[in-house]
């Protein structure tokens, strides 16, 4: 298995089904915080569902339609980044993230997302990477900005979650833009 250093004792590694117990323990530590805007904690509630979730991503990796990686801080799983979808033929992917409270404010999600987006663009030929976040998830939107993404628009009240309809912001970066280090985020 490989690990990519992210700084501050953190690294990015593939998250695989055999790590289901670590994944569940991580979800239990951050369940309320992580679940404010995304349904991941609702999908991972016990060891069986944890393993099933990671198995779905193992299948996606095998079919080249998605990936999931964990962010490990001093040996403990504290978050992750993923390609929820990846269509190599169309050249598009949707990236996402989550993080437990103990790891917030260290730049780990931005660093990890930068690694997987760079891989998708330079190694897999992905042309467009999207980042979709609830409009209320200011931390996730800040990551999109730090990655140099452009805000494409808002899907008004398109995401029903826990009894409330949320606006979703869609951000993206195109392959030619990724190569320009001087790029700054725009709205």
Place of tokens 């409330």: 164
The DSSP bridge pattern shows strands 10-14 and 76-87 to be: unpaired
In 3D, which of 135, 140, 168 has the Cα closest to residue 33? 140
> What 8-state DSSP symbol labels residue 15?
-
Cα–Cα–Cα angle for 159, 95, 128, rounded to 5 degrees: 105
Confidence of residue 180 (pLDDT cuts 50, 70, 90): very low
Going from N- to C-terminal start, the domains of the chain cover 11-178
Structure pTM?
0.92
Please provide the distance, in angstroms rounded to a whole number, between the alpha carbons at the two ends of the chain: 38
For 72-102, how does the pLDDT look when each residue is reduced to its tens digit (9 = 90+)?
999 999 999 999 999 999 999 999 999 999 9
Find the mean pLDDT for residues 45-49: 98
List the structure tokens of 14.
């593939």
Q: Please determine, looking at this structure, whether the domain spanning 11-178 carries the CATH number 3.40.630.30.
A: yes
């Amino acid at each position: 298995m490989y690990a990519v250093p992210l700084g501050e004792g953190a690294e990015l590694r593939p998250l695989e089904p055999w790590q289901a117990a670590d994944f569940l323990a991580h979800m239990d530590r951050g369940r309320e915080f992580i679940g404010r805007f995304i349904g991941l904690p609702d999908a991972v509630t016990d060891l069986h569902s944890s393993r099933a979730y990671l198995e779905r991503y193992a299948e996606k990796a095998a079919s080249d339609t998605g990936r999931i990686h964990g962010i490990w801080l001093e040996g403990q799983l504290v978050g992750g980044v993923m390609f929820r979808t990846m269509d190599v033929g169309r050249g598009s992917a949707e990236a996402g993230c989550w993080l437990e409270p103990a790891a917030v404010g260290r730049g780990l999600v931005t660093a990890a997302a930068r690694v997987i987006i760079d891989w998708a663009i330079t190694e897999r030929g992905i042309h467009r990477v999207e980042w979709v976040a609830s409009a209320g998830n200011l931390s996730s939107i800040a990551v999109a900005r730090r990655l140099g993404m452009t805000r494409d628009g808002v899907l008004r009240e398109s995401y029903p979650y826990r009894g409330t309809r949320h606006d979703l912001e869609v951000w993206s970066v195109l392959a030619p833009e990724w190569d320009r280090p001087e790029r700054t985020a725009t709205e």
